[in-house]
Amino acid sequence: MPSATCVYLARHGQTAYNLEGRFQGQLPVALDDTGRAQAAELAERAAEHDFAKLWCSPLLRARETADIVAARIGLEPCEDARLMETDAGDWTDRTFADVQAEAPEAFAAFVAGEPDFAFPGGESFTQQGIRVAAALADIERGTLPALVVCHGGVIRIAIFQRVSRSVAMSERVPNGALVPLAPAAAKRADTGGGAAAQLS
């Protein structure tokens, strides 16, 4: 299998939901002005890597980010639904504060990134991890080097799977971040710190 040093993961730019502290899950939420600027900055960093393939989640915020990157590096984004953010189920479109007040223990498990956490009426991190691992395995067997524009949850899970670093599941991945998938590099990756609740 090709070395994962040939694959980088990028988080989409900011949305109004990120700013408000609201679960967007798999809703079609667009980038805000800050998010579009972050995507443009990401595009400049991506241009330094000579990527041969560009993948993305089909969710609007990731696709918009990928389109901005694509215009800079001259690649057409390829969508893969397995790269989508976790299905937040009944928590979709609700604020973090509202959910925390109603279900503090479940919210704490979400923030901690517990692998067996499952959104009520939605997806578990374990279920998401299965599809993410399958998508990345296919990407690594394809054209490289590759850039994957996706979501904070996807990046956390991918790092957790590669380096068995439990703290990775609760670390914040900033909007517009560019993270190497290689295990050695991922161990040193600065994902920004902070609560997982800020990542969806």
Which domain range does residue 194 map to?
Answer: 4-198
What CATH number is associated with residue 188?
A: 3.40.50.1240
**Count of H-run helices and E-run strands, the chain:** 8, 5
Alpha carbons 17 and 124: distance in angstroms, whole number: 21
The pLDDT of residue 192 is 40
> Model confidence over 2-47: pLDDT tens digits?
444 699 999 999 999 999 999 999 999 999 999 999 999 999 999 9
> Model confidence over 91-117: pLDDT tens digits?
999 999 999 999 999 999 999 999 899
Residue 85 a catalytic site member: yes
pLDDT > 50? residue 193: no
Alpha carbons 127 and 132: distance in angstroms, whole number: 9
Which one is catalytic: 12, 64, 151, 171?
12
pLDDT > 90? residue 143: yes
Instruction: Name which residue leads in pLDDT, 136 or 169.
Output: 136
Alpha carbons 118 and 121: distance in angstroms, whole number: 8
Instruction: Name which residue leads in pLDDT, 111 or 199.
Output: 111
pLDDT > 60? residue 57: yes
pLDDT > 60? residue 189: no
Q: Beta-carbon neighbour count of residue 114 at 10 Å?
A: 18
The pLDDT of residue 198 is 34
pLDDT > 90? residue 145: yes
Average pLDDT over residues 142-170: 87
Which one is catalytic: 41, 44, 79, 85?
85
Could you tell me the pTM of the whole model? 0.90
Number of domains in the chain: 1
